[in-house]
Amino acid sequence: MSITRNAFSEKQSDQQRDKITDFDPATTAVLVVDMLKDFFKEGGAMVLDGGEALYAPHQKLLAAGRAAGMPILWLNQSLPPDDSLFEMRTVHCLAGSWGAEVVDELPVEEGDIIIPKRRYSGFFQTTLDLTLRERGINTVIVTGVVTNICVRSTVHDAFFLRYKVLVPEDLVMATSPQAQEVTLYDIDTHYGDVTDLENVLAVLQRAREAGS
Question: Domain holding 49: CATH number?
Answer: 3.40.50.850
pLDDT surpassing 60 at residue 1: no
Residue 149 contacts residue 33 (beta carbons within 8 Å): no
pLDDT surpassing 50 at residue 16: no
pLDDT surpassing 60 at residue 29: yes
Q: Which long-range contacts (CB under 8 A, 24 or more apart) does 42-46 make?
A: 44/92, 44/99, 45/90, 45/91, 45/92, 45/93, 45/99, 46/90, 46/92
pLDDT surpassing 70 at residue 21: yes
Residue 42 in domain: yes
State pLDDT tens for residues 66-80: 999 999 999 999 999
Q: At what angle do helices 177-186 and 7-18 cross, to 10 degrees?
A: 40
Residue 177 in domain: yes
Residue 212 in domain: no
Active-site annotation holds for 150 = yes
Q: How far apart are CA 166 and CA 44, in angstroms?
A: 29
Residue 153 in domain: yes
| Residue 195: predicted pLDDT | 97
Catalytic residue among 150, 157, 164, 170: 150
- The DSSP 8-state label assigned to residue 19 in this structure reads -
Residue 211 in domain: no
Q: How far apart are CA 144 and CA 120, in angstroms?
A: 12
Residue 2 in domain: no
Which of 4-8, 56-60, 152-156 is predicted with the least confidence, judged by mean pLDDT? Answer: 4-8
146: preceding bond cis by omega (within 30 degrees): yes
Per the structure, how many domains does the chain have?
Answer: 1
Residue 121 in domain: yes
Residue 135 in domain: yes
The confidence band for 4, taking pLDDT boundaries of 50, 70 and 90, is: very low
Catalytic residue among 38, 83, 93, 117: 117
Q: Give the pLDDT mean for 128-151.
A: 98
Residue 71 contacts residue 29 (beta carbons within 8 Å): yes
Catalytic residue among 34, 38, 83, 188: 34
Q: Give the pLDDT mean for 182-205.
A: 97
Domain that holds residue 78: 7-16+23-206
